[in-house]
Structures are given as structure tokens and as C-alpha cells.
Amino acid sequence: MLQNSSTITVPVINGPESKRQIFIMDIYAYSIRLFLHQCMAIELITKDFGNELINKMEDAANYDEFLNLTLSLSEAFNHTKPFGKGRKKCKRKDGHFCADKDCKKMSIITRDGMHWCMDEMGERMNAAIACLTECSLNNGR
């Protein structure tokens, strides 16, 4: 996750020479990477295609290029299973919540494709936030 983090230096109002860094944790890139690996694991996409896409995403020159690359996952997004009843009936993305090709096991990443399972993902998120906080506090060192 931290490999997708970036820093931006912006002027501070206090003076013309003062600079301040803003640290960004890119949750979208992290989520796409998890989805991509899950899709490869349950064979929604081939490992060759997935690894090629990962390399292209890492080499993306800007965020627009990165977003355009994620569109190539549209086929993986089309694999869905219905859930819910009545008005709340909707479709879950197999790449989010299935842990096997037949979807007989649920993923440890998310149960509904929207909320992350904090038992599995929370520690990584907290570690990334702690790391970014430490970097921001050690700005001048």
C-alpha cells in the first residue's frame, strides 16, 4: 500500500520560504491491487494478464493513466452473484467476495464487496497510517 503513497509539497501561508508536505495514502490503488490479485487467484483473469496490468499500473506516468488501466478489469467486474431480498437485492462482484472459482468460500478481504474485513485488513491500514504520520512528524529530519 505504501508504494502507492505519495507526497506533495505545498507552500505554507506563514512565509514564502516555508514548505509543508502533505502525505497521501492511495486507498483506491490499494483496493484495485487487492481486487486484481483476488481475480488472478480465483481465475477470473489470467496470471499473465494480471501481472502485465500490475507492471503497467506501477509504471503509470499519472493518475489518469492509472485510472484508464483499471478499465481493462471490466471483464472481471462483470462476474457477479445476486444476494439480498426484495428491494435490497443487488449483485456482488466475484473478485471482491469469492475465495474460490465456484464462490463456495468467502474472501477474507470483504464480505460484501464494499466494507473491508477489519480483522484481516485493519492492521495493514493502521500500519500505513502510522507510517505516514511518522513521516509527516519527521519532516525536517
End-to-end CA distance of the chain: 23
- Strand-pair partners of 82: 91
Predicted local distance difference test score (pLDDT) of residue 141: 53
Predicted local distance difference test score (pLDDT) of residue 49: 92
Look up residue 16 and give its DSSP letter: S
Predicted local distance difference test score (pLDDT) of residue 119: 82
Q: Yes or no: say if 98 and 108 are a contact pair by the CB < 8 Å rule.
A: no
* pLDDT tens-place string over residues 44-66: 889 999 999 999 998 988 888 98
Predicted local distance difference test score (pLDDT) of residue 123: 82
Hey, what amino acid is at 109? I
Which three cell numbers, joined as nine digits, stand for 93?
A: 462482484
Predicted local distance difference test score (pLDDT) of residue 4: 43
Distances in whole angstroms, Cα of residue 105 to Cα of each of 3, 42, 47, 96: 30, 11, 21, 12
Domain boundaries, the chain: 2-137
Q: List per-block mean pLDDT (blocks of 10 residues) for the chain, which spans 141 residues.
A: 44 56 74 87 90 91 88 82 73 80 81 75 81 71 53
